[in-house]
Structure 1
Amino acid sequence: MDWDRLKTFYHVATAGSISRAMDTIHLSQSAITRQIQSLEHSLKTKLFKRHTKGITLTEQGSYLFEETEKIFADLNSIEKKIVEYKSVPTGNLSINTTVAFGSMWLSPRINEFIHEYPEINLKLNYSEDEQDMLRQDYDIGLWMRKPRHLDLVSKHIATIKYHIYGSANYINEMGMPLRRSELNSHRLITYGIGKPSPLSDTNWILKTGVKKNQKNRRPHITINNLYGLLVAVETGAGLAALPDYMAQHKAHLVKVLPDIEGPSYDVHMVYHENLKGSLKLIAFRDFLMNKISQWRF
């Protein structure tokens, strides 16, 4: 089987279209088409179904893609281990985590990491879709739940707790609630429709302190991501339940009803089995655990 044709097939199948694959493998559309046709001819089977809106894999194509993925994963692992024969952690390290945790916790600390390990090149991907790590072959995921994939290694690194927060200006305007029932007279901001939250009860602020025979509170604003909630709270739009790490260094934010602790969730460092022993992974893990040990929530 021709290796170049197999590589072309892999990139087209990964991209989901010939036009998108062109950006990755830098071949013309006609050259890619010829290579796919030659591969299909040599295998005596169709690998793609052609549609007006694009292409999809046939049953034989899906099987070949699964096997080819394993080959590429092995090759990437070999390449990474060869590069890391040096005693100093070096090379590319890609990390996938959520938008909120990445933007508000990881990014402010990355400068320290690159100063400590200048030969590691970082690629950070902030997304609410954990499947990005599997599809795009990221080295490390900082996930808000334990992975269900058996080929991923998971290490618990932190537990994130939630409290209710408001801005100092909002509290001066509306007053500080001293009891849960007083939340009824405040503007509440909650998580809206969007990607699933790691919390089992995302909008617990609407029901805390509400009696069984009473209706839950209604939100004044709903926003579909945590960073948006934070900004709304900072500008005085109302009160919201936020993870403590987002408010840690926000001097103008006030913890409301501090004795009321909302649901919590665990953060896991997730990586592929074949990266065990990787110097750059160990470097990032140790750095991460050191920073997490300094949390004061």
Structure 2
Amino acid sequence: MDWDKLRIFHAVAEAGSFTHAGDVLNLSQSAVSRQISALEEALQVPLFHRHARGLILTEQGETLNQTVRDVFSKLAMTQALLTESKEKAAGRLRVTTTSGFGSCWLTPRLHRFLEKHPDISISLILEDNDLDLGMREADVAVRMHPPRQPDLIQRHLADFSMPIYASPDYLRRHGTPTTVEDLASHQMITFGGYHPPVPHINWLWDAVTTASGGGPKPPRLEVNSLASMANAIASGVGIGSVPLYACAQYPDLVRLFDDLPLPTVDAYFVYPEELKTSKRVSVFRDFLLAEIHASKR
């Protein structure tokens, strides 16, 4: 099988159309189509079902694409290891983490890492779903739960509590609640979405529902972003609970119910076994640990 045709096949399988694959590969739609037809002719099997809305892999196409994906991910890993200097951290590091941690905590600190390591560039992928590090969708991850894949190395970074916050302006207008039951009559901000960025994100709403016998008024605002939740709390929309790192840029916020037990979010630095000797990975891990230690001080 021709490697160039396999590369084009993989791009088409991921894009779902000749046109979109051509945009990625900088080839015309007709050139991409000819390469796929030639590959199908060489293999004597159809790889795609063609229809008006795009392309769907056949069973044979699924089998081939799985193998090609594995091969290209291994090649990408090998290339990164071969080109990396053992003495000097250099190259591109693809980092994935949740949108909340990435936008609220990590991004404002990255300039210090990049200044210290001028030969490293960062590709930051903010995604609340876990990317597959084994398939090279990213090099390393900061996750808000222990890794579920058994072949990944993990390092516990920190546990962040989830305080209850309100803005001074909100408390002036609506009064300060003294019990969890009081929150049933206040304007609450909760997370609303299919992919919770951290466990127990709506623990406070659950507690208010239980304390009020299941009858609080609906949340004033639901939003599928931790950063937006923190912004809404700081803007005086209502009361909410978010991880400590999400509200670090709003020092005027008032923490409520200091004596109430709070859930915590455990953050882990995760990377594949193949990158355990990578200089880029080790310096980035050390940077995260140093920044977390400094923020605790």
Scaled by the length of structure 1, what TM-score is found?
A: 0.91
Q: Which amino acid counterpart does residue 28 of structure 1 have in structure 2?
A: S
- For the pair 1:120 / 2:120, whether they are aligned, the reply is yes
- Are the aligned partners of 2:243 and 2:265 in contact in 1 as well (CA < 8 Å)? no
Question: 8 Å contact 1:96–1:133 — kept in the other structure?
Answer: no
Structure 2 residue identity aligned to 1:76 = A
Q: 1:152 to 1:61 in 2, by over 3 A?
A: farther
Do structure 1's residue 97 and structure 2's residue 97 form an aligned pair? yes
5 Å-filtered alignment, 1:1-297, equals: 1-85=1-85, 87-131=87-131, 137-199=137-199, 201-208=200-207, 214-218=213-217, 219-296=219-296
- Alpha-carbon deviation of 1:238? 1.1
Q: 1:14 to 1:149 in 2, by over 3 A?
A: farther
Q: CA deviation at 1:75?
A: 1.3
The DSSP-based 3-state class of the residue aligned with 1:293 is: helix
Letter in 1 for 2:21: A
SS across alignment from 1:131:
coil
**Per the alignment, in what secondary structure is the counterpart of residue 294 of structure 1?**
helix
1:193 partner SS: coil
Shift of 1:211: 5.9
Change (3 A) 1:40 1:191: same
Structure 1 residues 154 and 17: CA distance shift in structure 2, 3 A: farther
Greater alpha carbon shift after TM alignment, 138-147 vs 176-185? 176-185
Quick one: distance in 2 between partners of 1:77 and 1:162? 37
Q: Which AA in structure 2 matches 1:220?
A: R
Distance 1:22 1:136 in 2: 22
How far 1:106 moved relative to its partner?
0.1
User: Contact between 1:207 and 1:217, CA under 8 Å: does it hold in 2?
Assistant: no
Deviation for aligned residue 1:80 = 0.8
Contact 1:168/1:254 (<8 A) preserved: yes
Following superposition, the deviation at residue 207 of structure 1 comes to: 4.0
SS at 1:107 equivalent: helix
- How big is the shift at 1:206? 2.7
Task: Compute the RMSD of aligned alpha carbons.
Answer: 2.2
The answer to whether the 8 Å contact 1:161/1:261 transfers is no
Which amino acid in structure 1 is aligned with residue 226 of structure 2?
L
Give 5+ residue unaligned stretches, structure 2. Answer: none
Q: What's the % identity of the aligned pairs?
A: 35
C-alpha distance 174-69 of structure 1, shift in aligned 2 (>3 A)? same
Shift of residue 76, structure 1, vs aligned partner: 1.0
Cα distance in 1 between the residues matched to 2:48 and 2:210? 58
Whole-Å Cα distance in 2 between the matches of residues 280 and 194 of structure 1? 33
Distance in 2 separating the partners of 1:123 and 1:135: 16
**Cα deviation digits, residues 196-230 of structure 1 (max 9, x gap):** 3432x432223436667822523222222212211
Range 128-137 or range 260-269, more displaced: 128-137
Q: How many residue pairs align between the two structures? A: 296
Aligned-pair distance for 1:72? 0.9
